[in-house]
Structure 1
Amino acid sequence: MPSAQESLDDHAPPAGARYAGLLIAVLVLAEVVSAFESSMVFVAIPRFMEVFDASAADVGWTLTAFLLVTAASAVLAGRLGDIYGRKRVLVIVLLLSAVGSVISILGDSLDMVVAGRALQGVAGGIMPLCFGIARTLLPRERVPMAVAMIAGSALIAGALGSVVSGVIIDVADWHWIFVIAAVFATVAALVVLRAVPKDTAFAVGDRVDWLGAVLLPFGVGAALLAVTGGDARGWLSMPIAGLFVLAVALLAGWFWWQLHTTSPLFDVRLLGRRDLGSAYLITVLLSVGVMGLTPVVTPIILQTPVSAPVGLGLSATTAGYIFAASAVVGFAVSPISGQIAARFGAARAVLTGAVLLAIGMSLFAVGRGSFVGVVTSSVIIAIGTGFAYTALPNLVVEVIEAKRTGEATGFATLLRGTFNAVSAAVVGALLASGMVEGTPFSTSGAYDMVFGLSVTCCVLAIVVAATLPARRISNVSVGETSARETIS
């Protein structure tokens, strides 16, 4: 097992300062494409239902298809980048994403739009690839800041993506959403091709684990379909039970294969490492808790009528502005998270975020009946999310050797997306478990259970993060670097 110091040092010698800012900006641009595409169709769902005369369940596949491919791409693209070079794979992923947008533009049926969205889902691999490039080409003292900025950009781009798409839906044809996405992805690919230096392929000669690449997304996909459909179809219904059984079989088969193949998609033995295993556990806890719960509960509370046990009766537009403002706050604190990670170690930045999230969710639970209470707690939650969301990738990067950056961060991305979906389903089930008779509104007790789950997950994350040692990158000697390549 490599030491923490060896893990931090295993990348290229420091790049010139004038290149570092440009490189970070380019990587942020690439990740913004992924975040924009993940949220761009949320507000378009009612229009799709109207245009294609389709049900909400059918149109929902424009989201589901994207998420299922994203689950595979997060791990597979990271691993391919480790083997063939991250810049090369990043350009290919961006161009494939653009092609997916074009398919949706040309499509005259919902099936074509869903097919295009599925291909767009390869953008899920952008974040781990960007982390790997930053790890390889930047000076070590700039890596935590770069990782924080890349991760933080996903927060603001995801929120603003819905705002931009909403404006387009109101003033133009829905096709223009995909036109903008296609142009955006193409421009980002050209910028990466021109501005990012060639990076070294660390795992040259390794085989691609195609069987693992098939078993994992199908297993995760079956699990997500079961979780997201359980509330509507019934958790004990045959289709849902069958999906759960299929998911368990596929994921168990994938785990066994990863233990026995010579070139695994993800080396599951890494889960036994205390440092990396703790990082993944915190990711799961916060994804099930605040980061998966807040996007579901907050808009419900904001827009539910004041006549309900819990609700502020605000318009969708006002709720959207609150979300956008929260995303801006979260992105604004990402550099601070990066500075803390660089100076004291990512574990301290994660701990700070988890504490803020616990405080914010506790205040949200108490003040959910007033606008001031909700806004105040939302700001604290946004700051905590900005810290946690950006520090968690740094926690993984900090302890894994450079040649496995894509593999390790891709798996973290997969966990976050999967358990965000699990959280949404759990929240739906909890709110549905306590309804005011004769109304569509949940009781105050149902919301108490939701907030209780969130705060509990935060407390557990605090406990895990507090046990991790601080690692100061600034204490690492430049002379100890294992050089890979320089930027000329």
Structure 2
Amino acid sequence: MDGTEPATRPGAIVAVLAFAGIVAALMQTLVVPLIGELPTMLGTTPSNASWVITATLLAAAVATPVAGRLGDMYGKRRMLLISTLPLIVGSVVCALSDSVVPMIAGRGLQGLGMGVVPLGISLLRDVVATEKLGAAIATMSASMGVGGALGLPLSAAVAENLDWRALFWSAAVLGALVAVLIARFVPAGRTAPDAGRFDPLGAVGLGVGLVALLLAVSKGSDWGWTSGTTLGLLGLAAVVLLAWAWWELRTRDPLVDLRVTARPQILMTNAASILVGFAMYAQSLIVPQLLQLPVATGYGLGQSMMAMGLWMAPAGLMMMILAPLGARLSAARGPKVTLAVGSLVIAVGYASSMPLLGSTWGLLVVTLICSTGVGLAYGAMPALIMGAVPRSETASANSFNTLMRSIGSSVSAAVMGVVLAQLTTDFGGHLLPSETGFRTGLLIGCGVALAAALTALAIPVKPAPVEEQALPSEPLAAAAR
């Protein structure tokens, strides 16, 4: 630490990092209003255009654990600033694109910046006093929901009233603003003097394994789940990830310390995270479709893209509003209880959908309940992870937990895709997901949320070592007061 550290109050640090999380989440929902128009815009097929979304998913999955490890080694603020660069450059590339290849490249670059959220959460442990840490983590975690919810109506408004390139120019400006605010207001945090060397072979192995796995999961419904391509990718993922685990257990400085992640508290938290990620994403796939399907189907609500986004937006805001409640519950009963309660609330939201389908207000209630549970659960996960790892591995462990949530979301998209594709109805010569298909998907989400609650209750929480419970060291504590 040197004398150039910004002397900033904790509130400003949390606000800046939460804003960074909102911007990162906006990048994921940025192209949703354009999905139907992408083939025409880029002069390509719908199949090729789908890579505009897939590229971001794959790049984020690979970059997140790498950014976490580098953050532990070289400083979290430094990696936060570095992570904003691909967000900015990728947005500019997309804004200038007139064909599918540069658009996919730009969206891949945007995905490389998705390590912002776990890095930000980990940095809070270094620069925020212990008594304020729970609320700060909950607020930062909720920023993802806010960004995702606001992204739909904002993107739809821009897409309907302005040139689509304005979306990406706006994203570039927001990314640059995030970088300036981080440089101005966020302290550097800790680096681990004995963090060792970076593990390039581990990074490549994890990247190849994840790309193969997520590619098969995300594109399996298009290629066919029994096709040679899908099965080959799943086989490749299994072989590569097993070899990667073998290497990580034997190398001196692993990218991910699997011995630490195998600790019961971390292992069970990551398992619950996969389930919560699944449950969170299922309703975000189903509800927008119900809102936009024609009223003539008997169960669709005939809303425009803009109106759908506005109906979905309050759910994300609810996550931010209830973040302090989750922090107080964790302080009183422990984050394990908060994670279990959050998962149960998600299940209640899904159960409430059964009598509320067929009404915009009813679906609003469903999304509000589900998002309340997601907000509670997402705020508790980092607290459980950080309570079980040393400070030197905070960013790496949080990034791996974020990856587990992403895998859960990817599996959810695949499962919901299969369910809705199998349970269809004929509408004017077109096959659409049936009401039975939507209800089945919602019941699956309810069951997975209940499984997440049971998994959370099984987490064996142990108190952190005394040295891990201490306040930040003097220079950092001074910056945080």
| TM-score, length-scaled by structure 2 | 0.91
The corresponding residue for 2:317 is: 328
Consecutive unaligned residues of structure 1, counting only runs of 5 or more, are: 1-14
User: What is aligned with 1:11?
Assistant: none
AA aligned to 1:464 is: T
The answer to whether the 8 Å contact 2:326/2:338 transfers is: yes
Distance in 1, matches of 2:31 and 2:195, equals: 40
Tell me what 2:213 maps to. Answer: 223
Instruction: From the superposition, tell whether residues 447 and 182 of structure 1 become closer, same or farther in structure 2 (CA, over 3 Å).
Output: closer
For the pair 1:214 / 2:204, whether they are aligned, the reply is yes
Partner of 2:305: 316
Q: 1:422 aligns with which of 411, 425, 431?
A: 411
Could you state the TM-score of these two structures normalised by the residue count of structure 1? 0.90
Question: Cα distance, 1:433 vs. partner?
Answer: 1.9
> Could you tell me how far 1:203 is from its partner in structure 2?
4.9
3-state SS in 1 of match to 2:387: helix
Q: Do residues 149 (structure 1) and 142 (structure 2) align?
A: no
**Structure 1 residue 249 corresponds to structure 2 residue 239:** yes
Match of 2:124 in 1: 134
Q: Following the alignment from structure 1 to structure 2, what is the Cα–Cα distance between the partners of residues 205 and 54?
A: 46
- Whether 2:272 is the aligned partner of 1:300: answer no
C-alpha contact (below 8 Å) 2:343/2:452 kept by paired residues: yes
In the alignment, structure 2 segments of 5+ residues that lack a partner are none
| Contact 2:156 2:306 (C-alpha < 8 Å) held by counterparts | no
CA distance in 2, matches of 1:403, 1:478: 10
Judge conservation of contact 2:145–2:316 (CA < 8 Å) in 1.
yes
8 Å contact kept, 2:283–2:445: no
Of 25, 33, 36, the residue aligned with 1:43 is 33
SS at match of 1:441: strand
**Partners of 1:136 and 1:353 in 2: CA distance:** 26
Q: Secondary structure of the equivalent of 2:297?
A: coil
Within-5 A mapping of 1:39-438: 39-204=29-194, 206-288=196-278, 290-308=279-297, 310-436=299-425
Give the residue type in structure 2 aligned to 1:389.
Answer: Y
Separation (CA, whole Å) in 2 of partners of 1:256 and 1:45: 40
For 1:216 and 1:403, the matched residues in 2 are separated by 21
> 2: distance between equivalents of 1:17 and 1:394?
25
Asked whether the 8 Å contact 2:272–2:455 carries over to 1, the reply is: yes
Say whether the 8 Å CA contact 2:10–2:128 is kept in structure 1. yes
Output the CA distance in 2 between the equivalents of 1:117 and 1:456. 33
Q: Distance in 2 between matches of 1:389 and 1:318?
A: 27
Comparing 161-170 and 88-97, the one that deviates more: 161-170
Taking the TM superposition and a 5 Å limit, the aligned residue runs for 1:12-51 are 19-51=9-41
- CA positional deviation for 1:296: 0.8
Determine if contact 2:329/2:338 at 8 Å carries over to the other structure: yes
CA contact (8 A) 1:66 1:120 kept: yes
Instruction: State how far apart, in whole Å, the 2-side matches of 1:143 and 1:385 are.
Output: 19
The offset of 1:280, in angstroms, is: 0.5
Number of residues paired by the alignment?
Answer: 472
Cα distance change of structure 1 residues 485 and 263 upon mapping to structure 2, 3 Å threshold:
farther
Partner of 1:5: none
**In 2, distance between residues paired with 1:341 and 1:52?**
48
Which of 432, 437, 440 matches 1:449? 440
Instruction: Determine helix, strand or coil for the equivalent of 2:433.
Output: coil
Q: Aligned-pair RMSD on alpha carbons?
A: 2.5
> Structure 1 residues 177, 374: CA separation in 2 closer, same or farther (over 3 Å shift)?
closer
- Paired with 2:66 and 2:194, the residues of 1 have a C-alpha distance of 15
Amino acid at match of 2:405: R
Aligned pair in 2 of structure 1 residues 45, 442: CA closer, same or farther (>3 Å)?
Answer: closer
The change in CA–CA distance for 1:116 and 1:436 in structure 2 (over 3 A counts) is closer
Q: Distance in 2 between matches of 1:433 and 1:203?
A: 54
Residue of structure 2 equivalent to 1:6: none
| CA separation of 1:425 and 1:85: change in aligned 2, threshold 3 A | same
How far off is 1:469 after superposition? 6.0
Deviations 1:217-243 (A, max 9, x none): 221111122122222222111111111
Report the more deviating stretch, 206-215 or 390-399: 390-399
How far does residue 481 in structure 1 lie from its aligned partner after superposition? 4.9
Distance 1:20 1:259, change over 3 A: same
- The DSSP-based 3-state class of the residue aligned with 2:192 is coil
Q: Is contact 1:98–1:186 with CA below 8 Å preserved after alignment?
A: yes
Q: Report the CA distance shift for 1:484/1:440 in structure 2 as closer, same or farther (over 3 A).
A: farther
- CA contact under 8 A between 1:333 and 1:386: conserved in structure 2? yes
